[in-house]
Amino acid sequence: MKPPTEGNILNWRWGYAIVFCKFTLLVFDGGIAKSFGVLLHEMVVRLNSSYAIVGFICSLPSTLTYLAGPLVSLLLERMNDRLVAGGGAILSATCLLICAFSTNVVLLGVCLALTGKGDYRR
């Protein structure tokens, strides 16, 4: 990689810091995602549920991310990006409030998936 010209010489080192931080985050993030097999029995016991329901809840964030992609792309073509981001923030906040008062495990999983808090692939 060739060093940048003197016009932006102060900013080129930040690229390495950003790449290092992202790498570190993804290492921990991947570890959390891969540890679900170890934690599966404990989640079934604590949630007083079955393996099928816990597996369904764990698969919801990835599923909803892929299903929402075309819808968000369509909204971004027709609307302002700030409105779409604001709508996502309102949806996320509403789902977090529902999670606080939810007693149903499946509703809790769906709301957490809609907030994006359970998506460990990113």
The predicted-structure confidence for 41-91, as pLDDT tens digits, reads as follows: 888 888 888 888 888 887 887 788 888 889 889 999 999 989 988 988 898
List the chain domain ranges.
35-115
Assign 12 a pLDDT band (cuts: 50, 70, 90).
low
Structure confidence by residue, pLDDT tens digits, 28-38: 877 776 777 78
Residue 120: pLDDT band by 50, 70, 90 thresholds? Answer: very low
Helix, strand, coil shares of the chain, percent, nearest 5, are 80, 0, 20
List the Cα angle 119/32/107 in 5-degree steps.
40
Closest CA to 112 of 61, 63, 45, 77: 61
Could you tell me if 51 and 40 are in contact, meaning their C-beta atoms sit under 8 angstroms apart?
A: yes
Q: How far apart are CA 95 and CA 89, in angstroms?
A: 10
pLDDT at 122: 44
Query: What pLDDT was estimated at residue 77?
Result: 93
